[in-house]
C-alpha cells in the first residue's frame, strides 16, 4: 500500500470529519466486530443512514443519489463520457439486482488494516449466501450449515489468497493465512481493539454515517515508500465522524510550528468542502491544544448524504468504464452462470 497523492488523502480526511469525545456521553456497551488488536486504521460505515432501505421517497432519493455519484466517480477515473448512459444502467442494475432484491442487503461495513498481510473487511446485513458465492464457482466453495467459505486470488495482488466467509447476517473477507484467527474472534464475539482505539469504539456505538480512527504515525512508517511531505509527517493521529449529532474532525499535530503551518493549508481547503458536501453546510477550521479541528453543523441531511456517497464509492469499483468497454456484474451474467 503506497501513499502517493497526499492532497487527495487530506481531502478525504477533511470530508469524512472527526470529533472530540468530550461532546458525547459514553453510550451503552454494545458488541461490534473488531477481530484485529492493533490496526493502523479502523473504519466504519452505516449504509442504513442513507435512507436506501427505507420506503417511499427517502429510498428513491437515496438510490438516485447513489447512481449519480457512481457515474460521476467512473467518469472522473477516466470513463468516456459518451458511456455515461451505460454506466448509469449498470449502476442501477447492480443496485437493484444485488442490494434491493434481497440477495445482499448490506447495513454496516467495518474495515481494519494493520498491514498488507493483516486486514479484515466485515459486512453486516442480510445475505443469500448460495447466490452470492455462486459467482465464484461451486468448485471453490465449502458449504456448511451456518456459513459458506470460498478462497480466491486477490484482484490487487494475484499472488495472495483471500478468504471469504458468508453467513445469513455477516460476510468476512481477509487474507487466507489469518482466516482461522479472524473466524475464531468473530465466532466468540470478542472485540480485540486495544486502548489506542477506544475513541473509535465509542464513535461506532452511536452508529454514525461514517467513523474512522487512523494511527498516522504507524501508517506512514509502513506505507510510505517514497518521499513524504513535511506537512504529512507532522500528522500523528486522526479521529473522524459524521453523524446527525456531531460533525467534526481532529488532526493531532503535537509540533507547534508544524501545526500552524498545516492549519494555514487546511484553511485554504475548507472553503471547497462545501461543494463536496452538497452545499449543505459550511466548514470551519481552528487549532485547539495539540490538534486542528474541522467542524460543520451536524444534521440528518448531511449524515444521509455522506452515507449515500459511501455506498457509491464502494459500488463504483464494480462499475468500471474504460473508453467504450464496461465491466460490471449484472443480472445477465448471473443468469448465464445459474
Q: What is the pLDDT of residues 73-109, one digit of tens each?
A: 777 777 676 767 777 788 888 788 767 776 788 899 9
Res 137: pLDDT: 66
Strand partners, 287: 292
Res 86: pLDDT: 78
pTM: 0.81
What pLDDT, in 10s, does the model give residues 247-289? 889 999 999 999 998 898 888 888 777 777 766 778 889 999 9
Res 274: pLDDT: 72
Q: Is a pLDDT exceeding 90 seen at residue 208?
A: yes
Res 238: pLDDT: 92
Q: Which of 90-94, 219-223, 305-309, 320-324 has the highest mean pLDDT?
A: 305-309
What is the distance of C-alpha 289 from the center of its chain? 29
Mean pLDDT, the chain, whole residue set: 78
Amino acid at each position: 500500500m503506497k501513499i502517493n497523492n497526499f492532497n487527495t488523502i487530506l481531502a478525504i480526511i477533511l470530508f469524512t470529519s472527526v470529533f472530540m469525545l468530550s461532546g458525547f456521553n459514553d453510550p451503552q456497551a454494545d458488541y461490534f466486530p473488531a477481530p484485529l488488536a492493533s490496526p493502523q486504521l479502523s473504519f466504519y460505515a452505516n449504509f442504513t443512514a442513507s435512507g436506501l432501505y427505507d420506503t417511499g421517497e427517502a429510498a428513491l432519493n437515496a438510490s438516485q443519489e447513489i447512481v449519480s455519484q457512481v457515474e460521476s466517480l467512473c467518469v472522473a477515473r477516466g470513463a468516456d463520457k459518451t458511456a455515461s448512459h451505460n454506466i448509469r444502467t449498470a449502476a442501477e442494475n447492480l443496485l437493484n439486482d444485488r442490494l434491493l432484491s434481497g440477495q445482499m442487503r448490506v447495513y454496516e461495513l467495518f474495515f481494519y488494516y494493520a498491514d498488507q498481510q493483516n486486514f479484515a473487511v466485515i459486512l453486516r446485513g442480510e445475505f443469500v449466501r448460495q447466490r452470492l458465492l455462486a459467482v465464484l464457482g461451486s468448485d471453490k466453495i465449502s458449504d456448511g450449515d451456518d456459513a459458506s467459505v470460498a478462497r480466491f486470488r486477490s484482484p490487487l495482488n494475484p499472488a495472495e489468497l483471500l478468504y471469504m466467509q458468508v453467513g445469513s447476517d455477516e460476510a468476512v473477507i481477509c487474507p487466507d493465512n489469518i482466516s482461522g484467527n479472524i473466524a475464531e474472534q468473530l465466532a466468540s464475539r470478542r472485540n480485540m481493539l486495544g486502548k489506542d482505539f477506544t475513541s473509535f469504539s465509542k464513535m461506532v456505538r452511536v452508529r454514525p454515517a461514517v467513523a474512522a480512527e487512523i494511527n498516522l504515525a504507524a501508517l506512514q512508517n509502513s506505507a510510505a515508500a517514497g518521499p513524504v511531505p513535511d506537512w504529512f509527517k507532522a500528522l500523528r493521529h486522526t479521529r473522524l465522524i459524521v453523524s446527525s449529532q456531531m460533525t467534526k474532525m481532529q488532526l493531532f499535530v503535537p509540533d507547534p510550528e508544524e501545526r500552524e503551518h498545516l492549519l494555514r493549508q487546511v484553511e485554504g481547503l475548507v472553503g471547497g468542502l462545501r461543494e463536496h458536501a452538497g452545499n449543505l453546510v459550511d466548514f470551519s477550521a481552528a487549532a485547539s491544544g495539540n490538534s486542528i479541528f474541522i467542524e460543520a453543523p451536524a444534521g440528518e441531511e448531511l449524515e444521509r448524504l455522506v452515507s449515500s456517497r459511501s455506498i457509491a464509492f464502494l459500488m463504483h469499483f464494480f462499475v468500471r468504464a474504460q473508453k467504450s468497454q464496461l465491466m460490471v456484474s449484472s443480472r445477465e451474467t448471473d443468469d448465464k452462470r445459474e
